[in-house]
Amino acid sequence: MLLKHALPVMLKTLLVLCLLAQHAHGQEKKRENVLLHPQKFYRKYMPGLKIKPNPPDTNYIKTYPNYLSVGMHILSPAIQMKVRPRGNNAPDISSAFRTNITDVLGFSVNYRYIAAGFAFLMNTGMNMHSNYARSHYRTATIKYSNAGRSFQFKYIRIRGFTDVRQAGNRDQRYVRRPDMISKEYQFEGIQNFNWRKYSYIAPLTFAQRQIKSHAGFLLKGGAFYTEISGDSALLNARQQPYYKDLAGARVLRTVALRIAPGIGYNYVHQHSIYFSIVVFTSPDLYFYKYLETPTEERSAQTRIIFVLDTKAGLGYHTRRFYAGLRYELEHRAGPLQGLLLSNTYQYTGIELGYRFNAPKIVKKVYKATMPPGM
């Protein structure tokens, strides 16, 4: 008798619990964050997105979509910033700030369209200037490259400069500025108009391999944020009367917009030995501020700055292994309010790497996060 009355109650309770569970599941599904599920994000916001393979001419360029490239490089940077007053009557009170960096060790990983890398100062003590302030260096890079386009974000931070032109007194040859910091955030994109036969990225990220010589026309566009700051004024008391606008400034902040045409050439001997060179030139549009404190509010001024950007490489590149010498130069120069500014970045070094069969976990993660067909 008791079972007869309890059975309907149990069935009703079970039905209510099922309905509540179904409702809770529906609410959870509604609250699901599609940003944490890339494939659901693409289906919801980009339902028509489908990247179609468009390979380059295999008589000129080889690609390795199933390989994971791991590389290492050792570079010796030479970084300098020069400041001098404008005007023919100004005495020679210019500054030349240099870094004290010997060797930078970097690592990179590349799979299909994506490449990432980082580098840091080795601090070996070799070839360091004992009279210079000690420098600290770090950088990180992430790149996306397909056959015709390449996008890159790069962060560079340098701490510790030495003014080799302004001695405080006769007994002091250099003025050390361990407090000076340079920070850069760079975002750039490159269009390769001859991507079917010329590979811009082959000697840079080694995501592709040029097997027959060819040249290409390029176009680079980007935005570059730079901030140079110190705990005290960037210029010393003897200089400040000749630099009215920069006199007491502790921060120089710039944003550069760049549209740079360029040309590149890859010479290949016997499908494996290569020499590459690429050159860009640009009149950058500069927005800049002289600030006495980082939080100071001031309107930006504008100028045109000339930029020369070139890269060259010589090496050996096969299906699995690659190694070579690298040289990079970027020079920026032009007039700002009350002064002439030039920045030079030079990197010379060696690089080597190897291509492995990509592990299953790499393929799985890549497929789960990248757009369909990529």
Distance CA 332, CA 343 (A): 5
Find the helix or strand (DSSP H, E) in which 205 lies: none
Nearest one of 290, 244, 99, 246 to 177, comparing CA atoms: 99
Q: Which two tokens stand for residue 41?
A: 């994000």
pLDDT over 90 at 18, yes or no: no
Kindly report the number of other CB atoms within 10 A of residue 165's CB atom: 17
pLDDT band, residue 3 (cuts 50/70/90):
very low
CA distances 305 to 134, 288, 338, Å, are 30, 11, 14
Lowest-pLDDT choice from 162-166, 207-211, 216-220, 336-340? 162-166
Q: From the centroid of its chain, how far is CA 38?
A: 24
Whole-number pLDDT of residue 257: 96
Could you report the per-residue pLDDT of 181-190, keeping only the tens digit for each?
999 999 999 9
Distance CA 216, CA 190 (A): 12
CB 218 within 8 A of CB 264: yes
Could you report the per-residue pLDDT of 250-275, keeping only the tens digit for each?
999 999 999 999 999 999 999 999 99
Whole-number pLDDT of residue 65: 87
Give the residue, 121 or 89, on which the prediction is more confident: 121
DSSP string, 212-275: S-EEEEEEEEEEEEEEEE-SS-SS-TTTGGG-TTTTT-SEEEEEEEEEEEEEEEEEEETTTEEE
Is the pTM for the entire model greater than 0.95?
no
Helix (H, G, I), strand (E, B) or coil at 14: helix
Residues near 119 by beta carbon (within 8 Å), at least 6 away in sequence = 73, 75, 104, 105, 106, 107, 137, 138, 139, 140
Whole-number pLDDT of residue 278: 97
Task: Tell me the percentage of the chain whose pLDDT exceeds 90.
Answer: 54
Q: From the centroid of its chain, how far is CA 224?
A: 10
pLDDT band, residue 31 (cuts 50/70/90):
low
Distance CA 55, CA 26 (A): 44
Could you report the per-residue pLDDT of 131-160, keeping only the tens digit for each?
888 899 999 999 988 878 899 999 999 999
CA distances 125 to 72, 99, 160, 164, 173, Å, are 20, 14, 15, 20, 21
